[in-house]
Amino acid sequence: MNDIRLLEFLESHLTENRKLRFDHVLSQRTKHFTVATEDVYQLHNTSAVMRSCDVFGIQELHVIEEQNVKRIDREIAMGAQKWVDLKRYNSASDCLKSLKEGGYQIVATTPHEEDRVLADFDVTKKSCFFFGRETEGLSNAVMEQADSFLKIPMVGFTESLNISVSAAIILQHVTTKLKASTIPWQLSEAELLEKRFDWCKKTIKSYDQILERYKSWK
């Protein structure tokens, strides 16, 4: 049902400021990078990662809930769950398979591998950044299938950062570098159209009634 006339009808129920805001935010959205969290125990950590995804223009967040199944904390996510697409998986293997089929390289974030520091990360490849459990880190399943390992350089006594902090640091760095490149990182026309419909649905009050009105007029 993604036809332009319907979209124009729906967007006529938005304020001009809201439409301009949608256009601006969508122009900065990307699926070139994405994020996955694996069995994160603390609810606020996954919620905070989702918020960082929204802030830095990452459209999709993949959540593996093999052991810890929890809802996104709405207060901490600060409404980001409306704008970021959440994809849930019951196992790491399902998530890895889906991402690899989508052309993503698997990037395991860990302070214990020496493969690549953040400043040297190659932004040209489609990548999914994996963040693991607060105490154990990423599972062997992810580590064994990882195409690359990434670490944030640290010079203090502390060996690791909270995952939500790590995610924010990594996403800020790679998205800034990506947007300064000539890589076609923005959403496709079809993806933009899909998100405009989706965001209208999530924003417009009485959406179902308005949709029925359009159908009857048509």
Q: At what angle do helices 163-179 and 43-55 cross, to 10 degrees?
A: 10
Domain ranges of the chain: 1-29+188-218, 31-185
| pLDDT: which is higher, 77 or 101 | 101
- Grouping H, G, I as helix, E, B as strand and the rest as coil, residue 70 is coil
What are the tokens at 66? Answer: 């093999």
Structure tokens at 195: 């998100």
Which amino acid is it at 174? V
Q: Which amino acid, one-letter code, is at 213? A: R
Structure tokens at 20: 């301009």
Classified by CATH at the fold level, domain 31-185 comes out as Alpha/beta knot (3.40.1280)
**Residue 109: per-residue pLDDT:** 92
Determine the pLDDT at residue 74: 61
Given this model, what pLDDT does residue 113 score? 60
pLDDT in tens, 5-41: 899 999 999 999 999 999 999 999 999 999 999 988 6
What is the rounded CA–CA span in Å between residue 62 and residue 50? 10
- DSSP states along 145-176: H-SEEEB----SS-----HHHHHHHHHHHHHH
pLDDT at 156: 85
Q: What is the pLDDT of residue 143?
A: 93
